[in-house]
Structure 1
Amino acid sequence: MNYKNSGVNIDEANKMLFKIKNKLKDNADMYAGIFDIREIIKNYNNPLLVASTDGVGTKMILLEKEKRWDIAAQDLVGMVLNDLVCVGAKPLFFLDYYATGKLNSEEGAEFLNYLIKILNTFDCQLIGGETAELPGLLINNKVDVAGFAVGIVEKEKILGKNKVNDGDIIVGLKSNGIHSNGYSLVRKLLEEKKLRYSEKLIAPTKLMVNQTLSIRNYINAAAHITGGGIIENLSRVIPDGLCAKIHVNWDFHEIFHEILNAGVSLQESFKTFNMGIGMIYILKPENLEIIKNILYDEEIIELGIIKKGKEKIELQW
């Protein structure tokens, strides 16, 4: 009896690491990732470190079946870094967790190479992670991925509810579709043949990192619209006594019309999905034209206004 006979192949894990070792630089053989922050903090007066962690969720079941490791990597980066920038933090480094019932070094390395490539576009380093082969826990060779990132922000420039005021306006960036939330419901609809599989069903999470960082000096708060939809996520940045009055007048992505036609109510859909809005910004009215000019290649959707009220979110149909 040996470890390999029990379902864990250390040699396969070593082959996977070897395929990306040169991209991890000095951290490849370390027990923990190291990041030199000394030069970076010289540009800050009161720097704070910000951390975020998330995963791709049960969308991985669909992505693994289609071998879409490129989408899995983008979803993971999007779920983690889109959250991180909501407080105005610039991403610095990232760690991943790749778990599977039976390790395939080719597929694992493909995922990591895509992950590194995407992170490099944000000058964010992958400094390490964990590869776990878990026979018996992840059955039928399933794969699960998670990520952890750290960023930096000037203390005085942190975005959040303390900067939101009566009279501020609310705008949004369109999503690519479902992104990476609500897939337990999506898979149930697929299993019951109420929804037909298509490529748009697994469209990657829109990366809204650079967009948010480029306008962070002109916004008061940001909300990444993930699980729980607009109501759950936007309410996090609305102070007590104020209400975000949202006018639901944008065109839903085609995939959401298909979900509605599959029998999911509009109310349930808004509780579960982003419904076509990937990121929401709250800002002073006079800054609207500024952010439109900065984000000239994005469609800025004017969603509503902040007013006094008891309910934090009010959807107006």
Structure 2
Amino acid sequence: MDYQDAGVNIEAGRSFVDQIRRSVESTHNPQVLGGLGGFGGYFELPTGYENPVLVSGTDGVGTKLKIAQALNSHRTIGIDLVAMCVNDILTSGAKPLFFLDYLATGQLNPQQLRDVVEGVVEGCQLSGCALLGGETAEMPGFYGAGEYDVAGFCVGIVEKSKLLDGSQINVGDVAIGLSSSGVHSNGFSLIRKIVEVNDLNWSDRFDILGEQTLGKILLTPTQIYVKPILEALNSGMEIKGMAHITGGGLPENLPRCLKENQSIKINPESWPILPIFQWIADTGNVENSAMFDTFNMGIGLVIIVPQKRVIENIKWFKSQGVFAYEIGEVVEGNRTLIGL
């Protein structure tokens, strides 16, 4: 017997790396040393920093993968993977430098995984970071036919004096919510349960959702906020803190950027709720509190700014194609969200 008799095709793995090489290298910049194929990726730190701090993050896409696999639509998953990581480290004010991915599958399907990697490449281009390398694991008997899982890892850099750690935020500062592109990459276990209980299909269409199918809307990739945020910071716009709204929604994530003695009083009627969230609530009979505890509800990232800079920031992000809304105010408290 050999490895292929056990279900692992070494030659297919080598061929896959060759197929994606050009796409991966399209994300490289002068800081990337060497190419694919080594035991590690090399990245030279950029110059111009007096006291640089490296910021790292890792995440996955969750059970959104089940929908992508059911519809055989995989490219947006790669964008999701990058977005979940780079948006996280962005909250500290860090510029993403490089990204690595890990793909595990039962049996290597080159076209399927190439689509995922092409999405990762697009996500890296959208966030201005290099895809430094990755790992593809073929694990027969562990994943079913057509199944795969992905994980992402990124590293960014920020000047220590400009690190956003919550210490800059004061009572009276304002929370501005930046619009999400949809559900992003959280809450899909609940969505899948709703679809299962109601005997629905991903190809179904609903009046409230317009012409697109349910599956197509749910696979809308996570918004990447890196470029407009970094451009705002570099242009001198004052942003004191940020929160990436992922699992746990606004109640769990927004207080994480505050000091111990602060809370945020939020006005949930200050931004429009996307139709997909109304569909989830109505179809699944999900209470409003559970919706906010699970989903981003149309707000993908929140920035904290001084009261005097609110209008300036809102106008800036709208000029960058990201709708922004004044959604709350920092008040005295114990790191909670008030008003939901």
Report the CA distance shift for 1:301/1:276 in structure 2 as closer, same or farther (over 3 A): same
Secondary structure, counterpart of 2:329 in structure 1: strand
Q: Is 1:271 equivalent to 2:254 in the alignment?
A: no
Q: Is 1:106 equivalent to 2:86 in the alignment?
A: no
Q: Is 1:21 equivalent to 2:21 in the alignment?
A: yes
Deviations 1:81-140, CA, capped at 9 Å, x for gaps? 111111000011010001111111122122212322331233311111100011122123
Partner of 2:93: 88
* CA distance in structure 2 between the partners assigned to 1:65 and 1:229 by the alignment: 26
Q: Is 1:234 equivalent to 2:254 in the alignment?
A: yes
Report the CA distance shift for 1:6/1:66 in structure 2 as closer, same or farther (over 3 A): same
Report the CA distance shift for 1:300/1:117 in structure 2 as closer, same or farther (over 3 A): closer
Q: TM-score, normalised by structure 2?
A: 0.88
* CA distance in structure 1 between the partners assigned to 2:334 and 2:87 by the alignment: 29
Corresponding residue to 1:305 among 329, 334, 340: 329
CA contact (8 A) 2:69 2:146 kept: no
CA contact (8 A) 1:245 1:304 kept: yes
* CA distance in structure 1 between the partners assigned to 2:261 and 2:115 by the alignment: 49
Corresponding residue to 1:186 among 166, 188, 191: 191
Code of the residue aligned with 2:36 in structure 1: it is A
Q: Is 1:205 equivalent to 2:222 in the alignment?
A: yes
Partner of 1:7: 7
CA contact (8 A) 1:241 1:312 kept: no
Corresponding residue to 1:153 among 154, 158, 177: 158
Deviations 1:22-53, CA, capped at 9 Å, x for gaps? 3455321211111122xx1x211111111010
Q: TM-score, normalised by structure 1?
A: 0.94
Report the CA distance shift for 1:8/1:91 in structure 2 as closer, same or farther (over 3 A): same
- Structure 1: gaps spanning 5 or more residues: none
Secondary structure, counterpart of 1:212 in structure 2: helix
Partner of 1:33: 41
Report the CA distance shift for 1:268/1:293 in structure 2 as closer, same or farther (over 3 A): closer
CA contact (8 A) 1:178 1:273 kept: yes
Partner of 1:139: 144
Q: CA deviation at 1:293?
A: 3.6
* CA distance in structure 1 between the partners assigned to 2:260 and 2:200 by the alignment: 40
Percent identity for Structure 1 against Structure 2 = 38
Q: CA deviation at 1:238?
A: 1.6
* CA distance in structure 2 between the partners assigned to 1:54 and 1:117 by the alignment: 17
* CA distance in structure 2 between the partners assigned to 1:49 and 1:55 by the alignment: 21
CA contact (8 A) 2:89 2:156 kept: yes
Query: What is the 5 A alignment of 1:235-254?
Result: 235-249=255-269, 250-254=271-275
Aligned length: 313
Secondary structure, counterpart of 1:235 in structure 2: helix
CA contact (8 A) 2:104 2:149 kept: yes
- CA RMSD in angstroms comes to 1.6
- Structure 2: gaps spanning 5 or more residues: 26-33, 203-213
Q: CA deviation at 1:150?
A: 0.5
Q: CA deviation at 1:312?
A: 2.1
